[in-house]
């Protein structure tokens, strides 16, 4: 049990290191500046999804004028010649009333009352004949939401929660994180790819 936790903490630290370097690269790559418009102002909503074991890190930024910027980094763990590390850029636009409704929802939700970090304690493994009982399973996805708009300035992260539907929802995350995740997923899914680069 102790060995499993040590490995988990090492993977988590590696994921944080990789995602931190990924965010830095988002704003410094000269290739990016040729293809993608990155506003100078801070986004009012930012989301980061880290899938540590698959080596994928997704970023969503929503700006005050409704401009949406998405960066998906894939192939960062055990890359191959056929699947090299790649960053896919997507953009979109949401209407001002849609953005205002989303910001109002975030301000009225209990997001501001949440702690900064949550970690799933794990789901007990089903017993297998001939194997001693014990152990648990958890996911490798880390969800981080940051909001900086008016009276709401908050960042919350949740790690290790399981999904029953291949990433559509994470119902065990503390309320209202799953609802926020679903709303932001809809926005990210509505964006269109505009550039792709090797990283």
Classify residue 127 by its DSSP letter: P
Residue 134: Cβ-neighbour burial (10 angstroms; 0-12, 13-18, 19+): exposed
More confident residue, 186 or 7: 186
Cis status of the peptide bond prior to 182, with omega within 30 of 0:
no
Domain boundaries, the chain: 2-198
pLDDT at 185 over 60: yes
Residues 6+ away with beta carbon under 8 Å from 36: 69, 89, 91, 194, 195
- Say what the pTM is: 0.80
Lookup result for tokens 């499993």: 4
24-33, 78-87, 187-196: range with lowest mean pLDDT: 24-33
Burial 83-97 (b: 16+ CB within 10 A, else e): eeeebebbbbebeee
């Amino acid at each position: 049990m102790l060995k499993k936790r040590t490995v988990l903490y090492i993977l988590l630290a590696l994921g944080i290191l990789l995602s931190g370097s990924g965010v830095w690269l988002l704003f410094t790559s000269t290739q990016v500046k040729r293809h993608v418009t990155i506003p100078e102002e801070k986004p009012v909503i930012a989301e980061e999804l880290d899938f540590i074991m698959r080596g994928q890190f997704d970023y969503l930024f929503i700006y005050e004028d409704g401009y949406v910027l998405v960066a998906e980094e894939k192939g960062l763990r055990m890359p191959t010649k056929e699947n090299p590390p790649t960053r896919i850029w997507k953009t979109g636009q949401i209407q001002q009333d849609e953005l205002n409704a989303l910001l109002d929802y975030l301000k009225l939700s209990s997001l501001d009352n949440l702690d900064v970090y949550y970690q799933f304690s794990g789901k007990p493994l089903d017993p297998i004949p001939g194997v001693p009982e014990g152990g648990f399973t958890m996911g490798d996805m880390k969800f981080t939401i940051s909001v900086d708009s008016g009276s709401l300035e908050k960042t919350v992260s949740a790690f290790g929660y399981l999904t029953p539907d291949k990433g559509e929802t994470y119902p065990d995350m503390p309320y209202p994180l799953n609802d926020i995740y679903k709303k932001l997923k809809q926005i990210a899914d509505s964006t269109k790819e505009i550039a792709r680069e090797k990283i």
